[in-house]
Chain A
Amino acid sequence: AQSVTQLGSHVSVSEGALVLLRCNYSSSVPPYLFWYVQYPNQGLQLLLKYTTGATLVKGINGFEAEFKKSETSFHLTKPSAHMSDAAEYFCAVTRSNDYKLSFGAGTTVTVRA
């Protein structure tokens, strides 16, 4: 079985401040890891993903995430928050021998002016 834990259901940051969203996973086989973003009243959009190779992956809108196998983590960061980053963010994992995605509970980000 696989599971995903996102620490913190709500994160509030000031515009221009660092955004850090935490994700830990459990998987019995090598995982593929994803971060999705959901803007209000919309579906999910892929931010970035880790499959193999370089453990630091860059995504859209200035986001990046680092896969740390020893810590079973895939934390998402953005150096400088923008008002348009206000959304809900989901970490997800799939196993290398499966197609189903398992999602974390989500983290809602608010950005203060």
Chain B
Amino acid sequence: DVKVTQSSRYLVKRTGEKVFLECVQDMDHENMFWYRQDPGLGLRLIYFSYDVKMKEKGDIPEGYSVSREKKERFSLILESASTNQTSMYLCASKPTGTPGTEAFFGQGTRLTVV
């Protein structure tokens, strides 16, 4: 069974902290994504990676960075957390090949910045 695992379901962090959100997939997928989900806005793409050490900005990259040192792991980094980054964060992976192949999602990390 396909699996995308996010390291935390719930996180509470303080303003100004450096925050790491981790995502691991076991499907040998080349493409990995970080989305942010907010009510009324749907899912917005923060960053995606199409190969190890390769990354591309999505629609809302400001305040975020990413790291992909190994194929199975994709990390989202909030360099200095702010309250407006309180949100649900979803990781996804997708194989290269036919773009019509579905993306597989993790369970999400609900981050609260206080």
Chain B associates with chain A: yes
Residues of A within 8 A of B (CB): 4, 6, 9, 32, 34, 36, 41-46, 49, 51-52, 90, 92, 94-106
Nearest Cβ on chain A to B68's Cβ, whole angstroms: 15
The distance in angstroms between the C-alpha atoms of A90 and B37, with both chains bound, is: 11
A-side contacts of B4, CB under 8 Å: 43
* Contact yes or no, A9 B40, CB < 8 A: yes
Nearest Cβ on chain B to A107's Cβ, whole angstroms: 10
* B50 on interface, CB distance cutoff 8 Å: yes
* Contact yes or no, A43 B45, CB < 8 A: no
* Contact yes or no, A32 B105, CB < 8 A: no
Nearest Cβ on chain B to A36's Cβ, whole angstroms: 8
Cβ-closest chain B residue relative to A42: B107
Known: A44-B90, A97-B99. A104 touches B42 (CB 8 A): yes
* Contact yes or no, B90 A43, CB < 8 A: yes
Known: A32-B99, A51-B100, A99-B99. A43 touches B42 (CB 8 A): no
Residues of B within 8 A of A (CB): 4, 9, 31, 33, 35, 40-45, 48, 50, 58, 90, 92, 94, 96, 98-100, 102-103, 105-108
Nearest Cβ on chain B to A101's Cβ, whole angstroms: 6
* Contact yes or no, B108 A106, CB < 8 A: no
* Contact yes or no, B100 A94, CB < 8 A: yes
* Contact yes or no, B98 A100, CB < 8 A: no
The distance in angstroms between the C-alpha atoms of A9 and B41, with both chains bound, is: 10
- Interchain CB contact (< 8 A) of B99 among A6, A36, A98: A98
* Contact yes or no, A106 B99, CB < 8 A: no
Cβ-closest chain A residue relative to B40: A105
The distance in angstroms between the C-alpha atoms of A94 and B40, with both chains bound, is: 20
A-side contacts of B98, CB under 8 Å: 51
Nearest Cβ on chain B to A92's Cβ, whole angstroms: 8
Nearest Cβ on chain A to B102's Cβ, whole angstroms: 5
Known: A43-B90, A99-B31. A49 touches B107 (CB 8 A): no
A-side contacts of B45, CB under 8 Å: 100-102
The distance in angstroms between the C-alpha atoms of A43 and B103, with both chains bound, is: 11
* Contact yes or no, B42 A90, CB < 8 A: yes
